[in-house]
Amino acid sequence: MPTDNRPLAISAPEPRSLELIFSKDALSLLHSKYRIVEADPENIAGLGDDVLGETRYIIGQPPLSKETLDRMPRLRCILNVESNLINNMPYEVLFERGIHVVTTGQVFAEPVAEIGLGFALSLARGIVDADLDFREGRELWGGDGNAKARLISGSDIGIVGFGDLGKALNRVLSGFRATIRVFDPWMPPSILREYGVQPAGLDEVLSGSDFIFAVASVTSENKGFLGAEAFARMREGAAFILLSRADVVDFDALMAAVASGHIVAASDVYPEEPLGKDHPARGLKGFIRSAHRAGALDSAFKKMGDMVLEDMDLMDRGLPPMRCKRAERETVSRMRSKPVTRN
């Protein structure tokens, strides 16, 4: 029997699935180029040495111990397709061995940025409330329905965080001739200026913006850093749009700021998902709700698979991965984003 020399890849992509992240043609290509071993993410260590010893890639983000990694001498890359770098593997060991850890999170940047723009437009023009009023026969016509309406064009916009999502948001806002200020302590001011935005401190972003987009990742240093004091510093009537992770805000303080009428807000993420049926956020006026669906487009998921295949092909040829984002030694241990629980 001829020897199968195709590289071996362990498939453990939960909460995703290969069928979700690969198109039919891409999945066929994956299986034609690689030996795929489906595995329980919680029991990679239970695989035999014949599998672990041959593994070149892991598609997924399963918990791994140093002992399990020691049994994987040929491992080159862990391709995280959930896209949150959680603390479930010894990253220092991976870096010491030159094993890449990459994420596909940038596929969500554009769809999340677009829905963020939709939230901002709706908050600025009262689109959701006006629609509900119309349905119930209490609509206000013409100028009577625009008492609190305003333009995004020419406004002051603040962005908290300037990773892939912040950059995508800046692109979709580019036609509004707004002044965009960005707070991101991990980003050099010169790079921010190259993107056409103004570097700013957090207080300047909070107090000087008509619209504020929170798109920062959750880290060991910033959990809940947007609390009651932060919301109090915002302009009266400012719109706050939360797109990254709920843990960057004190969610109770956010709801209190909206309930008081000081600000309006929208969120795609929550401290607990799914949100309890009796949670106060469900009936909060001035608050637009979205059920963690901003980035969950089939086109985004399928782009994941294409990125994975491209980077695996590069590494097969002795080149570094370039399509997915590589985890950085200095920051990976600080990330605290929760993985999603459902697609």
The tens digit of pLDDT for each residue in 121-176 reads 999 999 999 999 999 999 999 999 999 999 999 999 999 999 999 999 999 999 99
- Residue 1: the pLDDT is 57
Above 70 in pLDDT, residue 210? yes
Decide: 264 and 287 in contact? Cβ < 8 Å. Answer: yes
Decide: 239 and 264 in contact? Cβ < 8 Å. Answer: yes
- CA 242, 247, 249, 253 torsion-angle sign: positive
Residue for token pair 């200095």: 330
Decide: 216 and 336 in contact? Cβ < 8 Å. Answer: no
The tens digit of pLDDT for each residue in 27-51 reads 999 999 999 999 999 999 999 999 9
Confidence band, pLDDT 50/70/90 cuts, at residue 330 = confident
Decide: 287 and 267 in contact? Cβ < 8 Å. Answer: yes
Structure tokens at 181: 């200020």
Above 90 in pLDDT, residue 343? no
Decide: 102 and 86 in contact? Cβ < 8 Å. Answer: no
Please, what CATH class does the domain formed by 109-289 belong to?
alpha beta
Decide: 78 and 100 in contact? Cβ < 8 Å. Answer: yes
The upper half-sphere exposure of residue 20, i.e. CA atoms within 13 Å in the direction of its Cβ, equals: 17
Decide: 182 and 200 in contact? Cβ < 8 Å. Answer: yes
The tens digit of pLDDT for each residue in 52-109 reads 999 999 999 999 999 999 999 999 999 999 988 888 999 999 999 999 999 999 999 9
Above 70 in pLDDT, residue 341? no
What is the DSSP pairing of strand 179-183 with strand 35-38?
unpaired
Confidence band, pLDDT 50/70/90 cuts, at residue 217 = confident
Structure tokens at 151: 């333009």
Decide: 311 and 322 in contact? Cβ < 8 Å. Answer: yes
Q: Which regions of the chain carry the CATH code 3.40.50.720?
A: 8-104+298-334, 109-289
φ and ψ at residue 51, rounded to 5 degrees: -85, -55
- The CATH number assigned to the domain with range 8-104+298-334 reads 3.40.50.720
The tens digit of pLDDT for each residue in 267-315 reads 999 999 999 999 999 999 999 999 999 999 999 999 999 999 999 999 9
Residues 6+ apart with CB under 8 A from 36: 9, 11, 18, 30
CA distances from 244 to 49, 62, 295 (A): 39, 22, 10
Above 80 in pLDDT, residue 187? yes
Confidence band, pLDDT 50/70/90 cuts, at residue 331 = confident
* Angle subtended by helix axes 109-125 and 164-172, to nearest 10: 50
> What percentage of the chain has pLDDT greater than the value 90?
89
Secondary structure letter of residue 55 according to DSSP: E
Decide: 164 and 109 in contact? Cβ < 8 Å. Answer: yes
The distance of Cα 28 from the centroid of its chain, to the nearest Å, equals 28
CA distances from 63 to 13, 42, 87, 127, 307 (A): 12, 6, 8, 44, 22
What's the predicted TM-score (pTM) here?
Answer: 0.91
Question: b/e for 20-44, b at 16 or more Cβ within 10 A?
Answer: ebbeeebbebbeeebbbbebebeeb
